[in-house]
């Protein structure tokens, strides 16, 4: 038996009674599915807590966000606060694309709950450039053309800032050790190392 579309394509008339019956059956099936969905209990999505208001100190400002306390900080930064410099790479604390400064130290944010950051001073790359002025480490990255795709760059700059805060005159080995946990898929490593070296030199002047 030819299908309705084959009949239509051939110019034959589609039986309107059969068409109407098929349509009624389809509408009834959809309505039944909707009724079933409405009477089923809500799905359980895991052991998350309910969202609540959480106060954070970010880039010197008090920010209040409504979030489940176990939400990773990175999600809150990017999705709730529009601070997108820190990047989502692996989500497993392996690539360090997501780092920010927490009380002056570099910390990953992709897998640590927002709750762990309450009462801490959080600084993102955006916070290092108030009023758009580049931080000296960021300026050194620009001068050395250290970014290729740029995905790892915010994390690398944060690492450079944290290093120069604790060590004003790092050796090459110390620079490499500080950057070691950071992955760069583009292979810009030498230019990144040169940028941190340049920032240290210029800071010492
Ligand atoms: S995204 Fe956080 S370490 Fe990779
Ligand atoms: S510049 Fe592309 S990942 Fe590092």
Architecture of domain 52-204: Roll (3.10)
Looking at residues 118-126, what average pLDDT do you find?
Answer: 98
pLDDT in tens, 123-149: 999 999 988 799 999 999 999 999 999
Report the chain's mean pLDDT, rounded to a whole number: 85
Considering every ligand atom shown, identify the ligand nearest to the alpha carbon of residue 154 and give its number.
2
pLDDT of 12 strictly over 60: no
Reported for 84-87, long-range contacts at CB under 8 A and 24+ positions apart, including other chains, are 85/124, 85/125, 85/126, 85/154, 86/124, 86/125, 86/154, 86/155, 87/151, 87/152, 87/154, 87/155
C-alpha 150/C-alpha 180 separation (Å) is 17
Question: Higher pLDDT residue, 31 or 179?
Answer: 179
Question: Is the Cβ atom of 186 under 6 angstroms away from ligand 2?
Answer: yes
Ligand 1 pocket, CB under 6 A:
88-91, 93-98, 108, 110
Q: Atom 4 (ligand 2): residue with closest C-alpha?
A: 184
Query: What number does the ligand 2 atom closest to the CA of 146 have?
Result: 1
State the pLDDT confidence band at 204, using cuts at 50, 70 and 90. confident
| Residue of 98, 107, 152 with the most ligand 1 atoms within 8 Å of its CB, for mutation | 98
pLDDT in tens, 66-109: 999 999 999 999 999 999 999 999 999 999 999 999 999 999 99
How does strand 100-102 pair with strand 52-58? Answer: unpaired
Q: What pTM value is reported for the model?
A: 0.77
Give the pLDDT score at 183. Answer: 97
Give the pLDDT score at 46. Answer: 53
Q: Atom 3 (ligand 1): residue with closest C-alpha?
A: 93
């Amino acid at each position: 038996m030819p299908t309705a579309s084959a009949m239509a394509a051939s110019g034959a008339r589609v039986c309107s009674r059969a068409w109407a019956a098929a349509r009624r059956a389809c509408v009834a099936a959809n309505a039944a599915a909707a009724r079933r969905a409405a009477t089923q209990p809500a799905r359980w999505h895991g052991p998350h807590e309910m969202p609540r208001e959480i106060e954070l100190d970010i880039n010197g400002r008090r920010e209040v966000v409504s979030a489940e306390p176990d939400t990773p900080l990175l999600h809150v930064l990017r999705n709730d606060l529009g601070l997108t410099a820190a990047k989502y790479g692996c989500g497993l604390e392996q690539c360090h694309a997501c780092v920010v400064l927490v009380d002056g130290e570099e910390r990953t944010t992709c897998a640590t709950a927002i709750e762990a950051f309450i009462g801490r001073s959080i600084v993102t790359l955006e916070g290092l450039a108030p009023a758009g002025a580049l931080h000296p480490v960021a300026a050194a990255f620009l001068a050395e053309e250290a970014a290729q795709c740029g995905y790892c760059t915010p994390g690398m700059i944060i690492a450079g800032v944290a290093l120069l805060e604790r060590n004003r005159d790092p050796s090459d080995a110390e620079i490499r050790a500080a950057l070691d946990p950071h992955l760069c898929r583009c292979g810009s490593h030498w230019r990144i190392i040169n940028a941190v070296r340049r920032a240290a030199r210029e800071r010492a002047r």
